[in-house]
Structure 1
Amino acid sequence: MLKKIPTSDVKLGMYLQGMEGSWLSHPFWKTKFVLTDPEDLKALKASGVPFCWIDSSKGLDVDAPEAPKAVLASPSAAPAPAPAVPDPPAAPTVIESAPRIDTSTAPASMGEELERATQVVQRSKRAVMNLFGEARLGKAIDAEQCLPLVEEVASSVARNPSALISLARLKTKDDYTYMHSVAVCALMVSLARQMGLDEAQTREAGLAGLLHDIGKMAMPLNVLNKPGALTDDEFAIMRDHPTRGFEMLKEGTSVPPAALDVALRHHEKMDGTGYPGKLAGEQISLLSRMGAVCDVYDAITSNRPYKNAWDPASSLARMAQWTGHFDPRVFQAFVKCVGIYPVGTLVKLQSGKLAVVLEQNVTALTAPRVRVFYSTKSQMPIPTQVLDLSSAGASDRIIGREDPATWGFQRLDELWQAPAK
């Protein structure tokens, strides 16, 4: 049975079904779970949330002396957005993924996180395809229903930022639109934490990244998925997607202002030459400046219907040269997130060997873990070997990045995804 009780009466063992007020004011990423951690209980009571909804059929009920304080659920009493009845079968796919969410945030190595991140990517893709499909049909977006997906992505990023971000970059041309949103969500979460934003702001950043391109669902499919370069008229149509996305989200529920702003402003540039408003500098919100960097990086490092991907390190180098496009402070923080040599980058070592970057060393961005596999001296493959270039005994170092196309390497992704031996 659903009951609305004062937050002061909540105790360990209760099943939280919802919390009164905006979900952005809640102390948790999730809203439906059994309260088992004393620290969570302490955070809830200190949050300022006045009332909570509990399900006594899934957890502890209120004590008998406290029963008069409880208010039985009814359609008129149910707060928005907390549900007054159990979720119906037609609930969005993102809700169905909630029971499988791994919310642990203990640091993990790249190898340890890749398997979990692969599952997150697969579930996220299905959820976003359904979400965007419903948006194309005109169904309003409920931002709170997206929260379990954002939480799952954020938990993976917390364990190891490189794993999910690198996997999400591996898109096909057919699933680009959906996976781009997942990738930008992950990049926004990682960047928000790098820039010292609190958890509520990080939550907003992730949600904004997930929804930033929802306006593309209002674009004609023949233009959105065109395999060749767009004509001037087609490009003019596509330039309208930020405005259309803003309008779609404005008609939704529980969509925070930050997500609306990022949907509308992620194509603005610092020098005022962007669109749709030609805003400049501080006229563009911080989250929208972050969104601009994350959106472009994922776009140019992904295979798209009309363009093949650039390698990660070259992409960062090119972005650094686009004067007036990005906020320099945000871009510098972004480089620290993905690394000077992001996972999957082909690098040349001082020894003359070629290697692919496997994992970042957060304290030594120029000395990542790499897998050596080719000798430029013999022009032949060599037995693979994993090297930590930041270790005390490391005798090799990176002298530059290489273009995989120059060497004819087409299977680098298999190399960095392979388990370390």
Structure 2
Amino acid sequence: MLKRIHVKQLTLGMHIDGFCGPWMEHPFWRNHFVLTDPKEIEQVLASTIQEVWIDTSKGKDVAPGVQSVAQTESQATMEQAIHDSEAPVRDTEPTSTAVEYKRAADICAKSKQAMKAMLQEARMGKTVDTELATHMVQEISDSMTRNHGALISLARLKTADDYTYMHSVAVCALMVALARKLQLDEEQIRSLGLAGLLHDLGKAVMPMEVLNKPGKLTDAEFAIIQSHPSKGHSLLVEGKVLDPIVLDVVLHHHEKADGSGYPQHQKGEEISLHARMGAVCDVYDAITSNRPYKKGWDPAESLKRMAEWTNGHLDAKVFQAFVKSLGIYPTGSLVRLSSGRIGVVIDQTHSLLKPLVKVFFSTKSDMRIPPEVIDLSATECKEKISARENPDDWRFPDLNELWSGMAPAAW
């Protein structure tokens, strides 16, 4: 029997079957589990959640004579009630980048926790929790509605150890942004966000020593990695995830326009628009992220290199829309202005070539200067970007803090 009880009635051994509150407000990545640790109850009590659903057929009931808030015999009624209470709180009012960074950091942190757990469960043969994944996509999408660039920028800040999990979150956000730039409908945008989140699901069943190998893969090891799209597709079908867009992107995001990709060596128009989108978003986050075997490239440099791959690897039209969704100088790009000052892009404006830049170093005096934000798109601004700069040539230790305004611990 399913009952809704107050959190103060929770005891060890109860099976929680849902929280009466949005996913971001409760302290766990999952919504269905048995309470086995007193700390779990303490975490619930410390949160804003006041009531939870328990399933007495799978765990302990409330003590005899204790009145629950509500109970139901109807599975359908319960599922709808839980779905309604756990759905993300839709807040899409525009916010500044600085304001959204904090909320985006919380979403990234919880999504990373959820992706790590989802991949671990997939590794153990359990089915994908699509309800949980859908909640993540909605939170990510709403953050990007409030402010287009905050979450995308923060999701790029990942350690090599976090890469497997945060890569999925980043590709989800990039897919949503690209889908909006291509003016696809809301249903497709949701599906593409979910596809981005699950595109590397097959890596959950790859040997860890191959997946995390710091050096170059052997031919045999690369063949194993090349099987991850097919493995991910199979895991979704087995878990009855039948969204055709999700299945297509998971299976085909490593296909290339010239037919040299995998697993089916599709070429040109044989590759769907959705899979071509997946390829662009996957590549961008991969090359801008720190990996066990290499440091990530600067965002602007990454776009320059990707432009060179549109003759046989990436779809040119999709890539052009992708650049428009990020800006020619994405947030975090290190640039030199015509005055000789060095700065980092902190936000986009209405002009792809004229972002907001925070200058902090003078090449003329060869020293740090007080940070100053310059809107290159402003009518009165005489400055312009004269060149991209390679962060490795300068090695500013606080570059990410300069554009995000946040300490590393908050990312």
Task: Encode CA deviations 1:26-61: one digit per residue, 9 max, x unaligned.
Answer: xxxx99xxxxxxxxxxxxxxxxxxxxxxxxx99xxx
Deviation at 1:160, TM superposition (A): 1.4
- Please tell me the residue identity of whatever aligns with 1:341: Y
Q: Does 1:390 align with 2:377?
A: yes
Quick check: 2:334–2:345 contact (8 Å CA) kept in 1?
yes
1:301 matched residue in structure 2: 288
Deviation at 1:85, TM superposition (A): 8.0
- Please tell me the residue identity of whatever aligns with 2:243: P
2:151 matched residue in structure 1: 164
Spell out the pairing of 1:10-409 with structure 2 (5 A cutoff).
74=74, 78=76, 84=79, 98=86, 101-322=88-309, 323-361=311-349, 363-409=350-396
Deviation at 1:113, TM superposition (A): 0.8
Quick check: 1:169–1:301 contact (8 Å CA) kept in 2?
yes
Matched residues in 1 for 2:319 and 2:85: separation? 33
Deviation at 1:193, TM superposition (A): 0.6
Deviation at 1:409, TM superposition (A): 2.2
Deviation at 1:102, TM superposition (A): 4.7
Quick check: 1:184–1:210 contact (8 Å CA) kept in 2?
yes
Quick check: 1:143–1:255 contact (8 Å CA) kept in 2?
no
3-state SS, counterpart of residue 357 of structure 1: strand
3-state SS, counterpart of residue 347 of structure 1: strand
Quick check: 2:199–2:249 contact (8 Å CA) kept in 1?
yes
Matched residues in 2 for 1:182 and 1:96: separation? 24
Cα distance change on mapping 1:104 and 1:210 into 2, 3 Å: same
Task: Encode CA deviations 1:272-300: one digit per residue, 9 max, x unaligned.
Answer: 11111110111111111000000000000
- Please tell me the residue identity of whatever aligns with 1:178: Y
3-state SS, counterpart of residue 372 of structure 2: strand
Gapped runs of 5+ residues in structure 2?
Answer: 3-21, 24-51, 54-71, 407-411
- Please tell me the residue identity of whatever aligns with 1:108: T
Matched residues in 2 for 1:96 and 1:374: separation? 51
3-state SS, counterpart of residue 237 of structure 1: helix
Gapped runs of 5+ residues in structure 1?
Answer: 3-29, 32-56, 59-71, 88-94
Quick check: 2:118–2:129 contact (8 Å CA) kept in 1?
no
3-state SS, counterpart of residue 170 of structure 2: helix
Deviation at 1:73, TM superposition (A): 6.8
TM-score by length of 1: 0.77
Aligned identity (percent) is 55
2:62 matched residue in structure 1: none
3-state SS, counterpart of residue 156 of structure 1: helix
Matched residues in 1 for 2:314 and 2:200: separation? 19
3-state SS, counterpart of residue 223 of structure 1: helix
Deviation at 1:143, TM superposition (A): 2.3
3-state SS, counterpart of residue 161 of structure 1: coil
Matched residues in 2 for 1:192 and 1:120: separation? 20
Cα distance change on mapping 1:107 and 1:146 into 2, 3 Å: same
Deviation at 1:230, TM superposition (A): 1.4
Task: Encode CA deviations 1:119-166: one digit per residue, 9 max, x unaligned.
Answer: 111111111111111111110124233111110000011111211011
3-state SS, counterpart of residue 297 of structure 2: coil
C-alpha RMSD of matched pairs (Å):
2.4
Task: Encode CA deviations 1:38-95: one digit per residue, 9 max, x unaligned.
Answer: xxxxxxxxxxxxxxxxxxx99xxxxxxxxxxxxx9746xx4xxx965876xxxxxxx9
Quick check: 1:73–1:84 contact (8 Å CA) kept in 2?
no
Q: Does 1:416 align with 2:394?
A: no
Matched residues in 2 for 1:287 and 1:83: separation? 35
Runs (4+) of structure 1 moved beyond 2 Å?
Answer: 72-75, 82-87, 95-99, 142-145, 408-411
- Please tell me the residue identity of whatever aligns with 2:293: Y
Matched residues in 2 for 1:255 and 1:150: separation? 17
- Please tell me the residue identity of whatever aligns with 2:213: K
- Please tell me the residue identity of whatever aligns with 2:307: A
Deviation at 1:408, TM superposition (A): 2.5
Matched residues in 2 for 1:337 and 1:239: separation? 29
Quick check: 1:357–1:371 contact (8 Å CA) kept in 2?
yes
- Please tell me the residue identity of whatever aligns with 1:273: S
Matched residues in 1 for 2:207 and 2:366: separation? 48
- Please tell me the residue identity of whatever aligns with 1:109: S
Task: Encode CA deviations 1:4-39: one digit per residue, 9 max, x unaligned.
Answer: xxxxxxxxxxxxxxxxxxxxxxxxxx99xxxxxxxx
Matched residues in 2 for 1:171 and 1:395: separation? 35
Matched residues in 2 for 1:130 and 1:380: separation? 46
